[in-house]
Structure formats: C-alpha cells, structure tokens
C-alpha cells in the first residue's frame, strides 16, 4: 500500500466503512501503527479506540469491541516502534509478523485464554496475567 492507500484505509475506517475485501486483524494493526506514527501514545490510543468503536457500531457489531485486546495491541505496537519507528509499514510488518497473526495471538504470551474471554476484559483493560518470556 502506498501512502495514498494508507490514507484511503484510514478514511474508510474513520467513516465506519470496510474496504472491499474486509477489515481484518492485519488492517487493525496497520491502522493502529498509522495512528502511533502520527500521534503520541495517549492521543493515538484515544483516537484509535474512539474510531474502532464507531467502526464496529457502523458495521452493526458494537459488541465486538474488546477493550483489553485493543489496548494491549496498541501498547505492543508502540513498544515495537521504540526501535523501529523509522520503518515503513511493509518493513515493520516483516519485522513483527507475530503482531499480524490473530491465532495464535501475540497476546497469548501475556494472557490466559479465560482472561481474554471474560466479560471484564471486554469491558475494561485488564493487566496481563503473566509474561512467559
């Protein structure tokens, strides 16, 4: 995707529209990466959460939003950007393929399945259970 295509993806996302081929996990990560490239963490997180909630509602799936998964992924992407901020999306994605895989998830290293499947984790951010590294 070019910068123009990135802008198109963001515009679609922010207006609640999915690209023709859908809006998949990799697209979520890319959009979060885009926000983090342009805004400080606290701004990027707030903007991404608000836009993701609007997007889910516009798609008729407001219950799909998951607070813990959303925040944990944004924090992981931000941590990776600490050393890789200069990378464009293709290079960043190549260097961090674990972020792009939904199952198994990069979060599996930090959370037990029952934690992420809980209503509490869906509603509010829950700290990781452990770090298996």
Per-domain residue ranges of the chain? 3-123
pTM of the model: 0.92
pLDDT of residue 6: 86
Low-confidence ranges of the chain (pLDDT < 70): 1-2, 131-133
Which residues make Cβ contacts (< 8 Å) with residue 98, sequence separation at least 6? 106
C-beta atoms surrounding 12 within 10 Å: 17
Task: Report the distance separating Cα 100 and Cα 120, nearest Å.
Answer: 25
pLDDT value of residue 2: 53
Report the distance separating Cα 72 and Cα 78, nearest Å: 10
pLDDT number for residue 130: 74
For position 1, what pLDDT does the model report? 45
Q: Rounded CA gap, 103 and 30, in Å?
A: 17
Other Cβ atoms closer than 10 A to 21: 7
């Amino acid at each position: 995707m070019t910068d123009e295509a990135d802008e198109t993806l963001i515009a679609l996302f922010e207006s609640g529209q999915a690209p023709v081929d859908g809006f998949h996990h990799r697209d979520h990560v890319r959009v979060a990466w885009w926000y983090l490239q342009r805004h400080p963490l606290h701004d990027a997180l707030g903007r991404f959460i608000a836009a993701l909630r609007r997007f889910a509602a516009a798609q008729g799936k407001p219950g799909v939003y998951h607070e813990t998964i959303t925040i944990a992924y944004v924090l992981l992407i931000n941590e990776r950007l600490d050393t890789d901020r200069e990378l464009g999306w293709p290079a960043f994605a190549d260097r961090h393929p674990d972020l792009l895989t939904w199952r198994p998830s990069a979060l599996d290293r930090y959370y037990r399945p029952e934690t992420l499947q809980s209503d509490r984790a869906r509603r509010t951010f829950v700290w990781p259970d452990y770090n298996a590294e």
